[in-house]
Amino acid sequence: MLELNQVSASYHLAPVVQAVSMRVETGETVALIGPNGAGKSTLLGALSGTVPRRQGQAWFDGVDLMTLPSHQIVALGVVQVPEGRHVFAPMSVQDNLLLGSVALAQRQRALQQRYDAVYGLFPRLAERRHQLAGTLSGGEQQMVAIGRALMSRPKLLLLDEPFLGLAPKVVEEIRQALNTLRGEGLTMILVEQKLDIALPFTSRTHVMIKGQLALVQNSAELMRDPDLGQLYFRLAQPAVWSSP
């Protein structure tokens, strides 16, 4: 479904993501982890077209995302849930969701089906559909952000720190919703700081260090690493070569 070939990205002249190559299969859920500043969010931004400087190739269903603006990338089915939620505070929950489904605005039946799907995943939002998004709790706003992305029926969902700063109960609610989406075959890339959340939820893990991929490993195998707590430190160390 998605194949990255030497993707680099930056906001200014200094590189942030450097020559990343990776592949994500249809229906797969993969983790993208690494320390703060590793380039994880920038890589997602390169895929969604929100980072101004992009190079390389990112083939999605045969189309190179690197050549397209963000609105065309969304139309292809690649949708990002940004870090920090970014809901439209003065608007209702339902109107926030509507913004994620502009293409369906004139097709009432299809639009209602998308509302029903989102409210089925997040019953709290159904109860608060007429409430202003800015008055919701942080967890509820995250549900709105995810629901808004789902309104466009994405093929690939890019999740940037969806559990950041949330209470454990809300984390579990959102994780259950994402598990439902995974069971329905939705392809997802998850950026997450907490390894105890990212690894059990995904099939493969990509570790970024200083803008580059430092490790790609089966998530279940990585969970069994006895030194998992030192993973970033180990990968950040320069290789030591001994002469023959």
- Per-residue pLDDT tens digits for 44-55: 999 999 998 899
- Classify residue 30 as exposed, middle or buried by CB count within 10 Å of its CB (0-12, 13-18, 19+): buried
Print the domain residue range for 220: 2-236
Residue 125 inside a domain? The answer is yes
Q: Which one-letter amino acid corresponds to residue 179?
A: N
3-class state of residue 26 by DSSP: coil
Alpha helices in 85-218 (DSSP H): 93-99, 108-121, 123-127, 138-150, 168-183, 195-201
State the total domains in the chain: 1
Residue 22 inside a domain? The answer is yes
Residue 116 inside a domain? The answer is yes
Measured at the alpha carbon of residue 33, what is the angle toward residues 30 and 38, in degrees to the nearest 5?
135
Residue 70 inside a domain? The answer is yes
Q: How far apart are CA 15 and CA 131, in angstroms?
A: 42
- Per-residue pLDDT tens digits for 110-161: 888 999 999 999 999 999 999 999 999 999 999 999 999 999 899 999 999 9
Element (H, E) at 34: none
Measured at the alpha carbon of residue 68, what is the angle toward residues 159 and 215, in degrees to the nearest 5?
45
Q: Which position has the higher pLDDT, 240 or 224?
A: 224
How far CA 175 is from CA of 121, 179, 190, in Å, comes to 11, 6, 11
Q: How far apart are CA 229 and CA 217, in angstroms?
A: 16
Please say if the pLDDT value at position 65 is more than 80: yes
Residue 224 inside a domain? The answer is yes
- As a whole-number percent, the residues of the chain with pLDDT over 70 amount to 95
pLDDT value at residue 78: 96
Mean pLDDT confidence for 70-92: 92
Please say if the pLDDT value at position 234 is more than 90: no
Residue 242 inside a domain? The answer is no
Please say if the pLDDT value at position 240 is more than 80: no
How far CA 89 is from CA of 50, 113, 127, 198, in Å, comes to 21, 24, 17, 29
Residue 241 inside a domain? The answer is no
Residue 39 belongs to domain with CATH number: 3.40.50.300
pLDDT value at residue 244: 41
Instruction: Quote the DSSP letter at residue 132.
Output: B
- Provide the phi-psi class of 88: left if phi over 0, else alpha when psi is between -120 and 50, else beta: beta
Residue 243 inside a domain? The answer is no
pLDDT value at residue 107: 67
